[in-house]
Amino acid sequence: MIIKVDRLLIKNFDWVTFGLVLCLSLIGIVTIYSATRPPGGVGVHPDFYSKQIVWLIISIAVLFAMVFFDYKWLFRYAYQLYGIGLFLLVAVLVAGRSSMGAKRWLSIGFFSFQPSEFFRILFIIGLSAYLATSDLESTEKMSAKSVVMFAIVPLALLIKQPDLGTAILMVSLFTVLSVSKGVSRKVITVVLMIGIVSVPFLGHIVWDGLKDYQKNRLVAFMDPEVDPSGIGYHITQSKISIGSGGIIGKGYLRGTQGPLRFLPEKHTDFIFAVYAEEGGFVGSIFLLCIYLLLFLRGLDTAVRAKDEFGRLMAVGITAMFFVYFCVNIGMTLSLMPVVGVPLPFVSYGGTALLSNFIAAGILINIRTRRFELFYPS
């Protein structure tokens, strides 16, 4: 029986999803290489691209490990995993390492990682398990306990770091998964009305709690021209990079904004601007089509899932990729404020790449095991 199941897993393995995330990761590596190359080819080339290759190899191995165990174990230990995620968010506030005015990194020996990158996956697992075991009536009411545990507590911990990008993601995931489960329109309307009425009061509190650089980012988003060489510099240079690409782009390794250091955070938050400068409109459309296929594949996986837990996780993971994609692209086009959100699978960052591949592995696991029945215990 084990051999038969293993053969079915291999036969039903979702090579499409794996191929899409691998393609995005390879695009990211070659773009990181171009973005960080020394001006004029003179000088030492930073090893960001080689580190990303190492992380990609590790991430692929972890993805396959995630696929070849039954995801029902995630259901059984969902709350414990979610508790670990909350513990890590608290730990980073107590013993985390500060960088650029935010305390987001936790070091264990020689290994440093960003707990919020893994928490988003644990959040999806925990909330999906909760909603999967809730009947429609209780879900429509959304008890105060569930709202506190899955919305208020993680949101408060993330804002405290502060990590506004992940905080936005948590709110989005909570809304998407709740609506996907079937929250009544009455509840949604009430929540929206309370939110609208609370904006003036909460806005003042949040604004006072923001760091100076975060306030500058919001001001630059509203009016990049208010200080084009200061707080509006990131957005201005990003739009220049994208616009200079034209229709077909300048060509690979021919971009100037990144290597000449005009564009800050060129291999992380603003890597799309570097890619668009070299690939132009045509290359950008190609990249957007790959993401579109990934989103559609994720939604199709949700439809084909054999159980409610798998369906909700597939919806949550797809929504996570979609929100990060929209926020990152929106940042580079000055459609959204700069909140430090990476482009999934493309931006430089070992922790982010690993967590994205873990999420993709769960997505593939759900689709691969769609032929099995699920019996929660």
Instruction: Write down the pLDDT at residue 203.
Output: 47
- 158 or 7: which leads in pLDDT: 158
Instruction: Write down the pLDDT at residue 221.
Output: 52
Instruction: Write down the pLDDT at residue 168.
Output: 82
User: For residue 321, is it within any domain?
Assistant: yes
User: For residue 168, is it within any domain?
Assistant: yes
Does position 139 have pLDDT exceeding 50, yes or no?
no
Does position 55 have pLDDT exceeding 90, yes or no?
yes
Work out the pLDDT band at 109, boundaries 50, 70, 90: low
Instruction: Write down the pLDDT at residue 12.
Output: 83
Domain count, the chain: 1
Does position 261 have pLDDT exceeding 60, yes or no?
yes
User: For residue 61, is it within any domain?
Assistant: yes
Instruction: Write down the pLDDT at residue 211.
Output: 53
User: For residue 376, is it within any domain?
Assistant: no
User: For residue 156, is it within any domain?
Assistant: yes
Which H, E and C letters describe 199-241, residue by residue? Answer: HHHHHHHHHHHCCHHHHHHHHHHHCHHHCCCCCCHHHHHHHHH
Does position 376 have pLDDT exceeding 90, yes or no?
no
Owning domain of residue 241? 2-368
User: For residue 339, is it within any domain?
Assistant: yes
User: For residue 373, is it within any domain?
Assistant: no
Does position 24 have pLDDT exceeding 90, yes or no?
yes
User: For residue 185, is it within any domain?
Assistant: yes
Instruction: Write down the pLDDT at residue 204.
Output: 46
DSSP class of 325: H
Nearest CA among 225, 257, 217 for reference residue 340 = 217
Q: What is the pLDDT of residues 71-84, one digit of tens each?
A: 889 999 999 999 99
Instruction: Write down the pLDDT at residue 228.
Output: 55
